[in-house]
Amino acid sequence: MTDKKLLSEHEVDLYNKWWHAANYLSIGQIYLMDNPLLREPLKLEHTKPRLLGHWGTTPGLNFIYLHLNRIIRERDNDILFIAGPGHGAPGVVASTYLEGTYTELFPEITQDEVGMQKLFKQFSFPGGIPSHTGAPTPGSIHEGGELGYSLSHAYGAIFDNPDLTVACVIGDGEAETGPLATSWHSNKFVNPKTDGAVLPILHLNGYKIANPTILARISHQELINLIKGYGYDPIFVEDNDPDSMHQKMASAMNTAFNRIHRIQQNARKNNDTGRPLWPAIIFKSPKGWTCPKTIDGEKVEDYWRAHQIPFGDLSNPKHLKLLEQWMKSYHPDALFDEKGAIFPEIAELAPKGDKRMSANPNGNGGLLRRPLKLPDYRQYAVKMTKHGHVIAESTRIMGEFLRDVIRNNPEKFLLLSPDENNSNRLNKVFEVTDRVWNAEIYDFDDHLAHKGQVMEILSEHTVEGWLEGYLLTGRHGLFSCYEAFIHIVDSMVNQFAKWLDEASKVEWRRPISSLNILLTSHVWRQDHNGFSHQDPGFIDHVVSKKPKMSRIYLPPDANTLLLVTSHCLKSSDRINVIVAGKQPEPQWLTMDEAIKHCYKGLGIWEWASNDKGTEPDVIVACAGDVPTLEALAATKILNEYVPDLKIRFINVVDLMTLMTDDQHPHGLSNQEFDALFTINKPVIFAYHGFPRLIHSLIYKRSNARNFHVHGFREEGTTTTPFDMVVLNNLDRYHLVSNIMNRVDRYKSKIAYIDQFVRDKLVEHELYIRQYGEDMPEIKNWRWK
């Protein structure tokens, strides 16, 4: 490899020039706000008051980027670049500026001294751009502010995307995170015929903020074992000398892309879709490569001191001089012409048009997004004549709808889950597809195949990362998860919400499909799995995100679930959380009623109310399938015992309607809200999650003080379904008691009712302790 020189001296010289230009532009972004070409002596006022952005990883990123460009020019590949290392934007922005894309997308950042000054100044500057490769970065689908998700994003991008290769640079800091550590195994889910390829490039530069990295401090053999253990064939590229590194890197890239090509050719021509040994590059370069080796007598290059800003105090004239010398060591006059534009022979190292990684449409997936061909959800409707008499499992019905979504959209829809699609009763989908699996398959395996539209791995992080990558490259999907364990990806969803928000402000970014999350196996139906599986708090987490994107739906039955699902699959740029039951439950609304109800997001169920046209004594409200059932059961008891109690029954499907219209686009006006909930009547609200959330949504309403919310009070264990609601005072009996206690004119009956409630609860307790299941009157309860 080192004997035969792959690149001519002229090429190496050119590559060095590109690299120097990228490095120069990176340092400029970090340090300067004026005098970008250093055509006058550098003064303190040319520099930024606050120095931000990480130099450490940048020269390596620039080096990798330019060598990927060589591959694209030579092979005409479609490649997307993911920068895993944090604060790596100076490098990526520099490269995209050299490619011209930056100027095309941000015309004020011109290819001259004025533009360069703006490019420099805007970086990590108020009103400018952040130091991560966030949404404003051309070609980026991965901000990487929080570390750990680069590789799962990369794989998400290449599923069902056979022409795309994602070159994913993984920082050795990021490699220590859990989500990254397991995402290497994504290669067991790649079909080399119908999927694209990921080339992981582990950037081993040795240091995090203040510590060395683990992977840089284990033996070479251990590292080889690890990468091979993850199922990759590692190609090592290591040197300090740039010229030699260019040769090695060019050779490594050739090896890697040749192998990818051979794998794909073999799969596509010979229909051999088995798991191949994919290449991975281990790129070991000094941290902060080419910055001063020592500063003030202290080691900087190839050390953690080069991780962020190699030196900061520019009011020290020695440092200012050092900065000038360092930047001039790249010979800017040999890189940029009189006007400040890159010399054409260097610029020509960039690929052309959409082949530039910064202009590849996969990096702005909304451009590629085509709506799903959705079947008419109404045809899956549960038929019924009376409210609450048909029993059905809502998610099983949803599974029929999803089956046909999958059938209609074979290359652009994924149903993902951490091993729970069956448990969540979406099995119908297996009538038309399989689970993707490219590790070993035995003949007795159940619906495993090299190709399919269901993906399952026991890692919520990987599932979420795959889906985000898939959505960001223009496709569609749905993540089904146990409600409690979706908290595992709280932070990822947080970061994705921030990406969506930022992207919505970038003019050239196009909307992408929403992140759809189905939470079945929810808190009330984890009675069998115990306390660890019982938590409704993800709703609260999503509500804290921007109103323009956060949506929470709590369909109480199958027909409302069908409509909500269809709605979510059509939407874009949202985080849709759907909480729905998987257990056999009474069905409430005909499809026509469901449509009317969901269209408003909440509403009075006249058939469960007896306030007909008059002022009610009390409002019984509910959100969620189990609370709806309990609220109806309470209503039925009251109808029987105190038939003259006027109850208005309200069900909420779209939780955001509770907010005011100036807080959330789905929020009701105060007038609408007061018309439903009155301004002074007690509202007993049976809610799926933590009660505090409801109070925080309605605190501005006139009637806020009269809201009494029953929900999850963090009481759980392994018990019966009904006992779960009893433990949390969400059951029909506690609701009845509370309702009665809120209506003044029933003061005389309260003692009687409370005794009835106590008796019922004791009876329940004794029964379940003896028989281990709920009383028949609970299990077989029906609405009238």
Stretch that binds a second copy, among 6-14, 337-345, 493-501, 621-629 (CB under 8 A): 493-501
Is 683 or 697 the residue whose CB approaches a second copy more closely? 697
Stretch that binds a second copy, among 341-349, 414-422, 508-516, 585-593 (CB under 8 A): 414-422
The separation between CA 696 and the C-alpha centre of its own chain, rounded to angstroms, equals 25
Is 421 or 473 the residue whose CB approaches a second copy more closely? 421
Cβ-contact 461, 148 below 8 angstroms: yes
By CB under 8 A, name the one of 208, 319, 369, 428 that touches a second copy: 208
252: CB partners within 8 A, 6+ apart:
235, 236, 237, 281
Angle at 404 between CA 402 and CA 409, to 5 degrees: 95
> Amino acid identity, residue 688?
H
211 belongs to the binding site for a second copy (CB under 8 A): yes
Window 226-245: residues binding a second copy (CB under 8 A) = 226-231
Is 6 or 224 the residue whose CB approaches a second copy more closely? 224
Stretch that binds a second copy, among 154-162, 458-466, 578-586, 628-636 (CB under 8 A): 458-466
> Amino acid identity, residue 323?
L
479 belongs to the binding site for a second copy (CB under 8 A): no
453 belongs to the binding site for a second copy (CB under 8 A): no
Distance from first CA to last CA of the chain, Å, rounded? Answer: 82
Is 174 or 617 the residue whose CB approaches a second copy more closely? 174
By CB under 8 A, name the one of 153, 319, 369, 435 that touches a second copy: 435
Least distance from C-beta 701 to a second copy, angstroms? 10
431 belongs to the binding site for a second copy (CB under 8 A): no
Least distance from C-beta 247 to a second copy, angstroms? 28
Least distance from C-beta 446 to a second copy, angstroms? 7
Is 244 or 491 the residue whose CB approaches a second copy more closely? 491
Nearest alpha-carbon partner for 147 in 87, 211, 210: 87
768: CB partners within 8 A, 6+ apart:
719, 720, 722, 723, 774, 775
Provide the CB-side half-sphere exposure for 470 (13 A, CA).
26
696 belongs to the binding site for a second copy (CB under 8 A): yes
To which H or E segment does residue 505 belong? Answer: none
440 belongs to the binding site for a second copy (CB under 8 A): yes
Angle at 538 between CA 474 and CA 578, to 5 degrees: 55
Window 47-66: residues binding a second copy (CB under 8 A) = 48-50, 52
174 belongs to the binding site for a second copy (CB under 8 A): yes
Question: How many residues belong to the site for a second copy (CB under 8 A)?
Answer: 124
Nearest alpha-carbon partner for 569 in 467, 502, 508, 478: 478
118 belongs to the binding site for a second copy (CB under 8 A): no
173 belongs to the binding site for a second copy (CB under 8 A): yes
Name beta bridge partners: 283. Answer: 203, 237
By CB under 8 A, name the one of 44, 209, 675, 762 that touches a second copy: 209
What binding mask, one character per residue, do residues 361-400 give for a second copy by CB under 8 A, x or -? ----------------------------------------
Report the C-alpha dihedral over residues 669, 671, 676, 682, rounded to 10 degrees.
Answer: 100
Nearest alpha-carbon partner for 538 in 502, 492, 469: 492
Least distance from C-beta 704 to a second copy, angstroms? 7
**How far is 24 from 102, CA to CA, in rounded Å?**
16
Window 12-51: residues binding a second copy (CB under 8 A) = 33, 48-50
Q: Name the DSSP class of 343.
A: P
Cβ-contact 187, 462 below 8 angstroms: no
By CB under 8 A, name the one of 6, 145, 572, 761 that touches a second copy: 145
What are the Cα distances from residue 296, in Å, to 233, 312, 319, 328? 42, 12, 9, 19
**How far is 725 from 734, CA to CA, in rounded Å?**
9
Is 549 or 633 the residue whose CB approaches a second copy more closely? 549
